[in-house]
A and B are shown apart, each in its own frame.
Chain A
Amino acid sequence: DAGITQSPRHKVTETGTPVTLRCHQTENHRYMYWYRQDPGHGLRLIHYSYGVKDTDKGEVSDGYSVSRSKTEDFLLTLESATSSQTSVYFCAITQREDYNEQFFGPGTRLTVL
Chain B
Amino acid sequence: AQRVTQPEKLLSVFKGAPVELKCNYSYSGSPELFWYVQYSRQRLQLLLRHISRESIKGFTADLNKGETSFHLKKPFAQEEDSAMYYCALGPSGGYNKLIFGAGTRLAVHP
Binding site for B on A (CB under 8 A): 1, 31, 33, 35, 40-45, 48, 50, 56, 58, 90, 94, 97, 99-107
Contacts and interface: CB of A to CB of B under 8 A. Distances in A.
Contact of A40 (B88, B95, B97, B102): B102
Contacts of B97: 33, 45, 48, 58
Identify the 10 closest CB pairs spanning chains A and B, nearest first. A100-B90, A43-B100, A42-B102, A42-B100, A94-B96, A104-B44, A104-B43, A100-B96, A42-B103, A106-B43
Nearest to B104: A42
Contacts of B42: 106
Interface in B43-89: 43-46, 49, 86, 88
Interface residues of B, number: 23
Interface string B2-43: 001010010000000000000000000000101000000011
Contacts, number: 52
A99 B32 CA distance: 10
B103 A100 contact: no
A42 B101 contact: yes
A77 to B, nearest CB: 21
A31 to B, nearest CB: 5
A43 B91 contact: no
Contacts of A90: 43-44
